[in-house]
Amino acid sequence: MACAVKVMQMVRQVFVFLHRWVGLAMTLFLAIVALTGSVLAFHEELDVWLNPGLLSVAKRDAPLLDGFTLREKAAALYPASSFDDVPLRVEPDRSVRFSHMPGMKAEDSMMEKMVEFYLDPYTGEKLGERPVWSGPSLERKNLMSFLYRLHFSLATPWSWREVGSHSIGAFVLGVVALVWTIDCFIAVYLTFPLRWRVSADVSQADKSWWSRWKPAWLIKLNGSAYRINFDIHRAFGLWTWAMLFVFAWSSVALNLGEVYAPTMALLFGAPAQDVNAPALSKRIDTPALGFREAYVRGSALLQAEAQRRRLTIDREQTLSLNRDGGVYTLSARSSADVTKNGASYVSLDADTGELREASFPGDMTARTGDAITTWLIWLHVAAVFGLPMQILVCVIGLVITALCVTGVYVWWKKRSARKSARSSRRKSGPSKPWLALGSECCVVVGDGGREV
């Protein structure tokens, strides 16, 4: 029994060491992405609030221009640019967004050059523009863009050397996310009570493992500042563990795909190959079907595919032309969609109008791993379940920040206590030699974090 306890103590101390120093190394990065993520959960709402003159228009008693006319007006403003997206959902109180890359050269970064501008949906008048990926800026119109860039790449300059296909900032956050994913399991293990003990005190020997784990879920509000911080760190981590894992592993998917993809393939099999996916052909600069003709054909295909699946189309979202692939894609929100903007679409040949691909949520063509990945991303960006999910994502960001702060506090207090104990021992020496030699006469950590 004593030998088993020693082994468990050694294993636990290794995990304590890893959790402590890995946590400290990740703290700054996690705090940045957590705080920015809390704000970005309401990205659209905050952006409209910050930039009403750019993103909003006053409702008026006049007809709205359709997306095709607005696209033509955008092309007239910038004749040297190509506009291959038609917004089919035009709202009476919101401007319409288009983007282009003026003066783009082969050696330029797309991220640096991309600009978005906004048109009045009633007149087609340009209301203003801004860079899509803003660097550090206190301008209201660039603030949300900068926070988003800070969130996914630490706002590192685009001119910095890339690591593989990543910017340096995105790669660093991908590594942090991978370490965080592993640490999620270490952290929950450290909350478990130990089953065995070496002590003359057996007052709790008859308690079940579950009853001894219960204190780890609670916060002792009448305890010391250290105890309250320790309890918050442990209890918040347990109560939100599932969502913490979702955010950690989905961050690996978004920032470190070369690790995520083979791991999911190992666990759930290789990704499904879509036999209906449109085959790439040579670039089509001027397709036989114009945007309006492609929309009529695509809408008919979309309705037919939805009826075949016994679904209804709630609204059509966007018509896009892929000149490299030679296809138009009409996206929509169907009755099977759970995301706000929908994930249903049909793709058709840009010359013949022939159906090339159709995809609706619920189609049993994706493997388990693909479905899990889709849901992880949807949860990460609060694309499902509306306002409740946005609130949850915001709260989880604050929880992660609290875990960072309390973790640093607990480490600092323990560090101070260890330094004080070492100083006292140097001055007076150990009063009881067996306490200096080892832990064979000590109760191991286990019952709700109690240390004796």
Nearest to 346 by CA among 336, 354, 338, 357: 357
Model confidence pLDDT, tens digit, residues 246-264: 999 999 999 999 999 999 9
CATH class of this structure's domain 275-365: alpha beta
pLDDT of residue 156: 85
Which residues neighbour 173 within 8 Å (Cβ) at sequence distance 6 or greater? 29, 33, 152, 153, 154, 251, 255
DSSP code of residue 202: -
The predicted pLDDT at position 280 comes to 53
Give the torsion through C-alpha atoms of 191, 26, 33, 160, to 10 deg: -160
Whether residue 143 contacts residue 48, with contact meaning beta carbons closer than 8 Å, is answered with no
Sequence length of the chain is 452
d(CA 2, CA 10): 12
Supply the pLDDT for residue 3: 75
pTM for the whole structure = 0.84
For helices 225-239 and 386-428, angle between their N-to-C axes, nearest 10 degrees: 140
Q: What is the pLDDT of residue 429?
A: 59
Return the bridge partners of 349, or none: 327
Task: Identify which of 180, 164, 375, 368 has the alpha carbon closest to the alpha carbon of residue 264.
Answer: 368
CB 193 within 8 A of CB 209: yes
Domain ranges of the chain: 43-135, 275-365
- For the four alpha carbons of 374, 169, 110 and 76, in that order, the dihedral sign comes to positive
Tokens of 115: 């600009």
39-93 tens-digit pLDDT: 999 999 999 999 999 999 999 999 999 999 999 999 999 998 999 999 999 999 9
**What percent of the chain lies above the pLDDT cut of 70?**
82
Query: For position 104, what pLDDT does the model report?
Result: 58
**Digitized pLDDT (tens) for each residue of the chain, 452 residues in all:** 567 778 888 888 999 999 999 999 999 999 999 999 999 999 999 999 999 999 999 999 999 999 999 999 999 999 989 999 999 999 999 999 999 988 655 555 566 778 999 999 999 999 999 988 877 777 899 999 999 999 999 988 766 555 555 688 999 999 999 999 999 999 999 999 876 544 445 555 567 888 999 999 999 999 999 999 999 999 999 999 999 999 999 999 999 999 999 999 999 876 655 545 555 556 778 899 999 999 999 999 999 999 999 999 999 999 999 998 999 999 999 998 888 888 899 999 999 999 999 998 866 555 677 889 989 999 999 999 999 999 999 999 999 999 999 999 999 999 998 888 888 877 775 555 433 333 333 333 344 444 43
Instruction: Please enumerate in sequence order all residues whose Cβ is within 8 A of that of 433, keeping only pairs 6 or more positions apart, or say none.
Output: none
